[in-house]
């Protein structure tokens, strides 16, 4: 029997980082086994589930590159889907639940009380084998000792999670349920429901949770909990994917950089760790920087242009060769693309704005004659390339009897407005002679004395 797994998020407004990893593990397992990944939207709570919320999930999964074999195509619950086990929105499956509940009622496996329908739960401990956790033996809690039955349909007619989840997994032919460990304690209920429906329960694999840096459960409002944050801050999806799978899973050989193909090849359920992991933003940032440095030129340029565009910088106003040359000076310098506008914005700005603090320390009277000297030297340069620019600057510094840095800092400030940025000589080369001389003249005019 071929493997069928599913990712079944509830549209709460965005894709949670923990949910993204659950989706990732499901996707990896499906691909690893040559099985299918089903995406199901658990939107039974109509009041707070909107199409935008579902779109956020779909877009998040697409951004990560996690394609599903069956499921919705858009966030529209009544819209088209792919696959023959739909609908894939729970809000469209009311009849399925009703039919199943009728059957339960008829066989006296459920009963009505106070207007709600309750399932007759077994009255003893449940033992099951979890693919990750191992054998789990769950005794009845004190509350369950008194009354183990639980509600499957509310008095307002709404079916509850335990019921819909099981009915859908059953009808969608799910063979492996890979989900967060927060569901481990619910599993006996689900197994009992499957048995009541006369079918064996699927195999279960509960993955550990992702915690905040302080060890608390990462949820909703927590910093960095939304995948959208990483999309917006210019992370490379391949880096986020790589980092996420290292939370709770390890290739065991100290290799940390794995692309999607390698992950699919090596991922398997038994190697998933059993304990929760804390989310470490610093390591994600480092890893993202590594990915950025290794991206091929086209992809790097593409993502750069995108990031600049988001910041309101339109690179289309400039020659393609200029843009590429400018961006090349940023290679290996960024940890995230959100840093790019501030780092390379000067290449595309009409006027340079001097950092006030830096201007106060660099644009002082003594700097004026030195800058003037360099300006004249640069004006006489035929070949305006990095090598020549460096040689000339050092030469001028020598004549002035100062260290190179004494010239470097004011020149950088004059041309970029900042105290840090790409390699000075390379940046000057990209800017070009005319522009550099113009910028130096402007700086000279701004320096007192």
Catalytically active residues are 220
SS (H, E, C) the chain: CCCEEEECCCCCCCCEHHHHHHHHHHHHHHHHHCCEEEECECCCCHHHCCHHHHHHHHHHHHHHCCCCCEEECCCCCCCCEECCCCCCEHHHCHHHHHHHHHHHHHCCCEEEECCEEEECCCCCCEEEEECCCEEEEECCCHHHHHCCCEEEECCCCCECHHHHHHHHHHHCCCCEEEEEHHHHHHHHHHHHHHHHCCCCCCEEEEECCEECCCCCECCCCCCCCEHHHHHHCCCCHHHHHHHHHCCCCCCCCCCCCCCHHHHHHHCCHHHCCCCCEECCHHHHHHHHHHHHHHCCHHHHHHHHHHHHHHCCCCHHHCCHHHHHHHHHCCCCCCCCHHHHHHHHHHHHCCCCCCCHHHHHHHCCCCHHHHHHHHHHHHHCCCCCCHHHHHHHHHHHHHHHCCCHHHHHHHHHHHHHCCCCCCCHHHHHHHHCHHHHHHHHHHHHHHCCC
Check residue 409 for interaction with RNA (CB under 7 A).
yes
Sort 144 into a burial class: Cβ within 10 Å, 0-12 / 13-18 / 19+: middle
Nearer to RNA among residue 82 and residue 333 (C-beta): 333
Question: Contact with RNA (CB under 7 A): which of 215, 312, 319, 401?
Answer: 215
Nearer to RNA among residue 175 and residue 285 (C-beta): 285
Distance CA 167, CA 430 (A): 63
Q: Shortest distance, CB of residue 296 to RNA, whole angstroms?
A: 17
- Interface pattern 297-336 for RNA (x via CB under 7 A): -----------------------------------xxxx-
Check residue 361 for interaction with RNA (CB under 7 A).
no
Check residue 202 for interaction with RNA (CB under 7 A).
no
| Residue range at the interface with RNA (CB under 7 A); choices 100-108, 221-229, 270-278, 432-440 | 270-278
Query: Rule CB under 7 A: which of 115-134 touch RNA?
Result: 115-116, 133-134
Check residue 277 for interaction with RNA (CB under 7 A).
yes
For residue 62, what are its two tokens?
A: 């697409």
| Sign, CA torsion 411/415/419/424 | negative
Query: Which of 43, 90, 36 is closest to 67 using CA atoms?
Result: 36
Check residue 357 for interaction with RNA (CB under 7 A).
no
Question: Contact with RNA (CB under 7 A): which of 45, 222, 355, 441?
Answer: 45
* CB 381, CB 392: distance < 8 Å: yes
Check residue 408 for interaction with RNA (CB under 7 A).
yes
Q: Shortest distance, CB of residue 277 to RNA, whole angstroms?
A: 4
> By CB under 7 A, how many residues form the interface with RNA?
83
Distance CA 17, CA 335 (A): 19
| Residue range at the interface with RNA (CB under 7 A); choices 24-32, 196-204, 231-239, 287-295 | 287-295
CA distances from 253 to 204, 256, 333 (A): 27, 9, 29
Check residue 423 for interaction with RNA (CB under 7 A).
yes
Nearer to RNA among residue 276 and residue 392 (C-beta): 276
| Sign, CA torsion 234/237/240/244 | positive
| Residue range at the interface with RNA (CB under 7 A); choices 70-78, 181-189, 360-368, 438-446 | 181-189
- Interface pattern 58-97 for RNA (x via CB under 7 A): ----------------------------------------
Check residue 10 for interaction with RNA (CB under 7 A).
yes
Q: Shortest distance, CB of residue 160 to RNA, whole angstroms?
A: 4
Query: Rule CB under 7 A: which of 143-172 touch RNA?
Result: 143-144, 150-151, 154-156, 158, 160-162
Q: Shortest distance, CB of residue 272 to RNA, whole angstroms?
A: 9
Check residue 21 for interaction with RNA (CB under 7 A).
no
Nearer to RNA among residue 35 and residue 236 (C-beta): 236
- Interface pattern 238-257 for RNA (x via CB under 7 A): --------xxxxx-x-x-x-
| Residue range at the interface with RNA (CB under 7 A); choices 68-76, 196-204, 208-216, 225-233 | 208-216
Question: Contact with RNA (CB under 7 A): which of 27, 37, 39, 44?
Answer: 44
Check residue 50 for interaction with RNA (CB under 7 A).
no
Nearer to RNA among residue 320 and residue 364 (C-beta): 364
| Residue range at the interface with RNA (CB under 7 A); choices 196-204, 299-307, 367-375, 407-415 | 407-415
Nearer to RNA among residue 208 and residue 417 (C-beta): 208
Check residue 290 for interaction with RNA (CB under 7 A).
yes
Nearer to RNA among residue 35 and residue 196 (C-beta): 196
């Amino acid at each position: 029997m071929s493997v069928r797994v599913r990712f079944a998020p509830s549209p709460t407004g965005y894709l949670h980082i923990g949910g993204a990893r659950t989706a990732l593990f499901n996707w990896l397992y499906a691909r690893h086994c040559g099985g299918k990944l089903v995406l199901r939207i658990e939107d039974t709570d109509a009041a707070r589930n909107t199409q935008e919320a579902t779109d956020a999930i779909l877009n998040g999964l697409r951004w990560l590159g996690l394609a599903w074999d069956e499921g919705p195509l858009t966030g529209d619950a009544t819209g088209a889907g792919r696959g023959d086990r739909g609908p894939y929105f729970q809000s469209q499956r009311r009849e399925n639940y009703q039919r199943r509940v009728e059957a339960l009622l008829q066989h006296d496996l459920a009963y009505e009380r106070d207007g709600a329908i309750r399932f007759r739960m077994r009255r003893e401990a449940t033992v099951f084998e979890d693919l990750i956790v191992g054998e789990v033996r769950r005794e009845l809690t004190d509350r369950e000792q008194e009354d183990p039955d639980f509600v499957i349909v509310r008095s307002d007619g709404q079916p509850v999670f335990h019921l819909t989840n099981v009915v859908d997994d059953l009808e969608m032919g799910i063979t492996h349920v890979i989900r967060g460990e927060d569901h481990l304690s619910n599993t006996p209920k689900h197994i009992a429901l499957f048995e009541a429906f006369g079918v064996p329960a699927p195999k279960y694999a509960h993955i550990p949770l992702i915690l905040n840096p302080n060890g608390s459960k990462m949820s909703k409002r927590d910093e960095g909990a939304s995948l959208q944050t990483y999309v917006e801050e210019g992370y490379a999806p391949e880096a986020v994917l790589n980092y996420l799978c290292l939370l709770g899973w390890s290739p065991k050989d100290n290799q940390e950089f794995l692309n999607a193909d390698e992950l699919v090849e090596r991922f398997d359920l038994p190697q998933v760790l059993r304990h929760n992991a804390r989310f470490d933003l610093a390591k994600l940032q480092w890893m993202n920087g590594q990915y950025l440095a290794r991206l091929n030129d086209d992809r790097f340029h593409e993502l750069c242009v995108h990031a600049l565009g988001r910041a309101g910088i339109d690179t289309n106003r400039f020659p393609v060769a200029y843009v590429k040359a400018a961006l090349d000076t940023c290679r290996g310098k960024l940890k995230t693309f959100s840093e790019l506008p501030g780092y390379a914005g000067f290449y595309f700005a009409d006027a340079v704005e001097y950092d006030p603090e830096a201007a106060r320390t660099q644009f002082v009277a003594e700097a004026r004659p030195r800058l003037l000297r360099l300006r004249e030297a640069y004006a006489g340069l035929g070949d305006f390339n990095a090598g020549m620019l460096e040689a000339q600057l050092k030469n001028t510094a020598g004549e002035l009897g100062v260290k190179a840095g004494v010239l470097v800092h004011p020149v950088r400030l004059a041309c970029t407005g900042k105290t840090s940025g790409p390699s000075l000589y390379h940046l000057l080369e990209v800017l070009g002679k005319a522009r550099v001389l113009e910028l130096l003249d402007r700086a000279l005019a701004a320096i007192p004395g």
